[in-house]
């Protein structure tokens, strides 16, 4: 039976390496961080076979003194910290003095370096943790490090490596993060002798984003910039039309370091709430800067996570900066067709592009806050959008708002009942009513097509109506003026016992929405009141929809999310359905409301509510330009 024994230091090094050095990309990350910390302005990276055979990083940084070379490979040896307190003022990317020791333990490493002020440099080999004698080396000033045969002495780890393409992909990702974080750096990456990337300064972030992610992303970005206390946020967020199926294009940097952060990822998604469908992710490049003592970088072996001293403040900063920015933007999706051959059109290569791309400036400075404010100008000018004394309320009701008794014909409660006077069409700013709304054409009893100064606008009636109702309901709920209708006879709804219990747990939140529920015992729930906006939809059906929602959640969302989801559910139920034919008056009211409500470009579930086929695009397609 084997005995327990003290591991030799070379083995300990390998075990430690297991945590930090997982794959070639981890080596590249550590070496690049060292080059950046050394103040380099240029870094050249060569890899072979995805980095498994060779990783070479050459920089023009400060170099390492010959006498210090062996120390560079020693575990817990670093030039970046000296005391424990220094851990709370880390301003370099590395600080643990572990990386070179770990890499040296699992590969064959040659480290060559010459500080600029030294006539002669030195070289040292470290093979699987074994150091060779230091030798003279006469190379350029800076540091050159070659890592060969990664995991040569740990076959199990080597077996876990993926295909060359996958490993190269990981290296490219590390490269991308650095290039985005440090636009002043000149960086090159070659794989098997072929250039993969060369990024040169002077570069602004936008052009780097364009290089890595293409014009398709670059041209749909909006600048965000905001400060809160000692923290600063700057960066770009993409138009919702640029959404993705995963969060990979959500880049977050804290003090120049790429990090993952669930909480800030959540803040970002939260800022896009109502603009993205479930399971879709925003694209963003965010940079948080704050004093080093406000962030702990020493919590994760690969330094990929940090802990903020005041996490809530940073969460709030990210959420408000992005949400406010998106609110100021006209997010109506634009259709673009490839020009030319009928064949490419037949292949269905339509794409939805952003409106108002904010390209060209390429600078963090000159955030378009003021400019965007102007964008809201026309509608705020006459106070009809958000007048301090309930201007919004006045403008909410449409000529055909549901009031008791319901009007004959299709009953569409476009707005919650409201008897206050309405603004006349002529009181609306002309920019918003450029043309008589009768010009709207109804298509398939589902869409409206409208002529606008910008182009041909196609509206999804249901999605738009849903958004309008949602915004009105929300506003009224917040001001406590949500109208409810009391049922003369409470309506009993039979549910499985657990569903009844779930529902009653949320009695209070539901009451806030105007949906009164009471326990009748035995799995029966009584509906006593319901939101008046739901007019003539059967209360029983509303409650069942709410219950379906509640039981579909494994973990209940927070209160704000719950109210949001339930309001959008109600708005959805109350909104005009495909197949309902609208009268000219109803169409006119719907279109007018579009200009008055917020975020009418998307329904509350994040589906687009309108698509713009711009005048320019029409002219282009018909070769009039």
- Positions that interact with ligand ADP (CB under 6 A): 30, 34-35, 38, 59, 61-64, 72, 78-80, 94-101, 143
- Phi then psi for residue 383, to 5 deg, are 75, 5
Minimum distance of ligand ADP from residue 293's CB (angstroms) = 19
Question: Is the distance from CB of 52 to CB of 178 less than 8 angstroms?
Answer: no
Question: Of 140 and 599, which has the nearer Cβ to ligand ADP?
Answer: 140
Minimum distance of ligand ADP from residue 96's CB (angstroms) = 4
Minimum distance of ligand ADP from residue 98's CB (angstroms) = 6
Span from 97-105, 130-138, 209-217, 602-610 in contact with Mg ion (CB under 5 A): 97-105
Question: Of 100 and 596, which has the nearer Cβ to ligand ADP?
Answer: 100
Question: Of 72 and 609, which has the nearer Cβ to ligand ADP?
Answer: 72
Question: Of 27 and 422, which has the nearer Cβ to ligand ADP?
Answer: 27
Cβ-proximal residue to Mg ion, closest one: 94
Locus of tokens 């009768």: 438
Which listed option, Mg ion, ligand ADP, none, makes contact with residue 225 (CB within 5 to 8 Å by class)?
none
- Sign of the Cα torsion 316, 317, 319, 324 reads positive
* Of 13, 17, 26, 34, the one binding Mg ion by CB under 5 A: 34
Minimum distance of Mg ion from residue 94's CB (angstroms) = 3
Span from 29-37, 41-49, 161-169, 611-619 in contact with Mg ion (CB under 5 A): 29-37
- Phi then psi for residue 444, to 5 deg, are 50, 25
Write the CA distances from 270 to 275, 555, 602, integer angstroms.
10, 17, 15
Minimum distance of ligand ADP from residue 47's CB (angstroms) = 17
d(Cα 557, Cα 273) in Å, to the nearest integer?
13
d(Cα 538, Cα 491) in Å, to the nearest integer?
10
Question: Of 100 and 611, which has the nearer Cβ to ligand ADP?
Answer: 100
Question: Of 63 and 240, which has the nearer Cβ to ligand ADP?
Answer: 63
d(Cα 299, Cα 215) in Å, to the nearest integer?
36
Minimum distance of ligand ADP from residue 104's CB (angstroms) = 9
d(Cα 342, Cα 253) in Å, to the nearest integer?
44
d(Cα 311, Cα 202) in Å, to the nearest integer?
34
Question: Of 273 and 300, which has the nearer Cβ to Mg ion?
Answer: 300
- The maximal CA–CA distance of the chain, rounded, in angstroms, is 96
Minimum distance of ligand ADP from residue 261's CB (angstroms) = 22
How is 371-393 classified by DSSP, letter by letter?
HHHHHHHHHHHTSTTT-TTTHHH
d(Cα 607, Cα 97) in Å, to the nearest integer?
50
Question: Of 21 and 284, which has the nearer Cβ to ligand ADP?
Answer: 21
d(Cα 601, Cα 594) in Å, to the nearest integer?
9
H/E stretch holding 175? helix 164-181
Per DSSP, the three-state class of 490 is strand
- Sign of the Cα torsion 599, 605, 606, 611 reads negative
Locus of tokens 């109803």: 586
**24 near Mg ion, judged by CB under 5 A:** no
Minimum distance of ligand ADP from residue 344's CB (angstroms) = 49
**26 near Mg ion, judged by CB under 5 A:** no
**104 near Mg ion, judged by CB under 5 A:** no
Cβ-proximal residue to ligand ADP, closest one: 94
Question: Is the distance from CB of 107 to CB of 27 less than 8 angstroms?
Answer: yes
Which listed option, Mg ion, ligand ADP, none, makes contact with residue 210 (CB within 5 to 8 Å by class)?
none
Question: Of 126 and 591, which has the nearer Cβ to ligand ADP?
Answer: 126
d(Cα 404, Cα 565) in Å, to the nearest integer?
28
Which listed option, Mg ion, ligand ADP, none, makes contact with residue 79 (CB within 5 to 8 Å by class)?
ligand ADP
Strands (E), 239-313: 250-254, 257-258, 284-289, 295-296, 307-308
Which listed option, ligand ADP, Mg ion, none, makes contact with residue 109 (CB within 5 to 8 Å by class)?
none
Which listed option, Mg ion, ligand ADP, none, makes contact with residue 95 (CB within 5 to 8 Å by class)?
ligand ADP
Question: Of 114 and 602, which has the nearer Cβ to ligand ADP?
Answer: 114
Question: Is the distance from CB of 325 to CB of 237 less than 8 angstroms?
Answer: yes
Chain residues binding Mg ion by CB under 5 A are 34, 94, 99
């Amino acid at each position: 039976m084997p005995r327990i024994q003290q591991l030799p230091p070379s083995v300990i090094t390998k075990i430690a390496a297991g945590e930090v050095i997982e794959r070639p990309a981890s080596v590249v990350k550590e070496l690049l961080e060292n080059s950046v910390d050394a103040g380099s302005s240029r870094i050249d990276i060569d890899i072979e076979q995805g980095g498994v055979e060779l990783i070479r990083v050459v920089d023009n940084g400060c170099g390492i003194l010959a006498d210090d070379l062996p120390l560079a490979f020693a575990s817990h040896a670093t030039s970046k910290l000296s005391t424990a307190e220094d851990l709370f003022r880390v301003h370099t990317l590395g600080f643990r003095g572990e990386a070179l020791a770990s890499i040296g333990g699992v590969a064959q490493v040659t480290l060559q370096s010459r500080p600029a002020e030294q006539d002669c440099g030195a070289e040292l080999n470290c093979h699987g943790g074994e150091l060779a004698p230091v030798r003279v080396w006469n190379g350029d000033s800076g540091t050159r490090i070659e890592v060969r045969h990664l995991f040569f002495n740990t076959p199990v780890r080597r077996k876990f490596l993926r295909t060359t393409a996958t490993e190269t992909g990981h290296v490219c990702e590390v490269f991308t993060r650095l290039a985005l974080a440090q636009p002043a750096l000149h960086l090159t990456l070659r794989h098997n002798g072929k250039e993969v990337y060369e990024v040169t300064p002077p570069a602004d972030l936008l052009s780097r984003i364009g290089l890595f992610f293409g014009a398709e992303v670059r041209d749909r970005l909006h600048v965000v910039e905001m400060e809160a206390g000692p923290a600063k946020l700057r960066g770009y967020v993409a138009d919702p039309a640029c959404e993705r199926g995963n969060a990979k294009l959500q880049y977050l940097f804290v003090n120049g370091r790429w990090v993952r952060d669930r909480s800030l990822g959540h803040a970002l998604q939260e800022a896009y709430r109502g603009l993205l469908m479930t399971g879709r992710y925003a694209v963003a490049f965010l940079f948080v800067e704050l004093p080093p003592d406000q962030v702990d970088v020493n919590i994760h072996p690969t330094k990929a996570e940090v802990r903020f001293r005041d996490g809530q403040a940073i969460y709030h900063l990210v959420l408000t900066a992005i949400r406010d920015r998106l609110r100021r933007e006209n997010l109506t999706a634009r259709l673009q067709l490839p020009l030319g051959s009928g064949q490419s059109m037949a292949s269905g290569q339509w794409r939805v592009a952003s409106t108002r791309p904010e390209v060209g400036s390429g600078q963090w400075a000159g955030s378009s806050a003021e400019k965007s404010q102007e964008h809201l100008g026309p509608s705020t000018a006459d106070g009809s959008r958000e007048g301090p004394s309930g201007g919004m309320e006045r403008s909410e009701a449409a000529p055909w708002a549901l009031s008791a008794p319901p009007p004959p014909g299709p009953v569409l409660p476009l707005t919650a009942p409201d008897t206050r006077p309405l603004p006349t069409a002529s009181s609306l700013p002309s920019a918003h009513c450029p043309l008589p709304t009768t010009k709207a054409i109804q298509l398939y009893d589902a869409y409206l097509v409208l002529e606008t100064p910008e182009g041909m606008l196609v509206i999804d009636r249901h999605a738009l109506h849903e958004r309008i109702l949602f915004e009105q309901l929300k506003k009224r709920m917040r001001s406590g003026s949500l109208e409810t209708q009391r049922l003369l006879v409470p309506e009993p709804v039979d549910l499985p016992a657990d569903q009844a219990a779930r529902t009653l747990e949320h009695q209070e939140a539901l009451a806030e929405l105007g949906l009164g529920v009471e326990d009748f015992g035995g799995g029966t729930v009584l509906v006593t009141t319901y939101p008046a906006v739901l007019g003539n939809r059967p209360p029983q059906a509303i409650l069942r929809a709410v219950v379906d929602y509640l039981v579909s959640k494994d973990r209940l969302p927070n209160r704000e999310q719950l109210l949001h989801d339930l309001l959008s559910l109600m708005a959805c139920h109350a909104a005009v359905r495909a197949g309902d034919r609208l009268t000219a008056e109803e169409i006119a009211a719907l279109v007018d409301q579009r200009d008055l409500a917020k975020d009418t470009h998307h329904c509350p579930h994040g589906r687009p509510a309108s698509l713009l086929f711009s005048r320019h695009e029409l002219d282009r397609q018909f070769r009039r330009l």
